[in-house]
């Protein structure tokens, strides 16, 4: 675990898109980010800010982030427990992956 508060925790993604790819997850089981309550969304956001700062300190080459969640099969959701992706980006990275395969 790379971070935690009362309502959420953060871990490195087991299948990272880029180095230091982090998942921010509510402790309560809900299927997607829209099912979280306002307090959980604030806890997730605060933890994301902390993780962003830590990642930027660990790797000064990080110049941006992708931050978001896939909701539903059509959007590429594979794990049906709400979570946010915090993906560090560096100049010269490959383009971010699409939410679903291109047709």
* CATH number assigned to the domain comprising residue 84: 3.30.428.10
**Residue 81 designated active-site:** no
- For 28, half-sphere exposure in the C-beta direction (CA atoms, 13 angstrom radius) is 14
- For 53, half-sphere exposure in the C-beta direction (CA atoms, 13 angstrom radius) is 6
Give the count of beta carbons closer than 10 Å to the beta carbon of residue 45.
14
The model's pLDDT over 57-87, given as tens digits with 9 standing for 90+, comes to: 999 999 999 999 999 999 999 999 999 999 9
Number of domains in the chain: 1
Instruction: Print the domain residue range for 22.
Output: 3-89
CB of 24 closer than 8 Å to CB of 54:
no
pLDDT at residue 93, rounded to an integer: 87
Q: Considering the entire predicted model, what is its pTM?
A: 0.88
Q: Is the residue at 99 inside a domain?
A: no
Q: Which residue out of 45, 81, 83, 85 is catalytically annotated? A: 83
Residue 99 predicted with pLDDT over 80: no
Which pLDDT band, with edges at 50, 70 and 90, does 33 fall under? very high
């Amino acid at each position: 675990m790379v971070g935690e508060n009362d309502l959420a925790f953060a871990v490195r993604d087991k299948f990272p898109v880029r180095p230091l790819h982090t998942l921010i997850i509510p402790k309560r089981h809900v299927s997607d980010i829209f099912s979280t309550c306002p307090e959980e969304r604030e806890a997730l956001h605060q933890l994301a800010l902390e993780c962003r700062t830590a990642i930027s300190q660990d790797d000064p080459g990080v110049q941006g982030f992708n931050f978001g969640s896939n909701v539903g099969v059509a959007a590429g959701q594979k794990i049906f427990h709400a979570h946010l992706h915090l993906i560090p980006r560096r100049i010269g990275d490959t383009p971010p992956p699409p939410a679903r395969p291109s047709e």
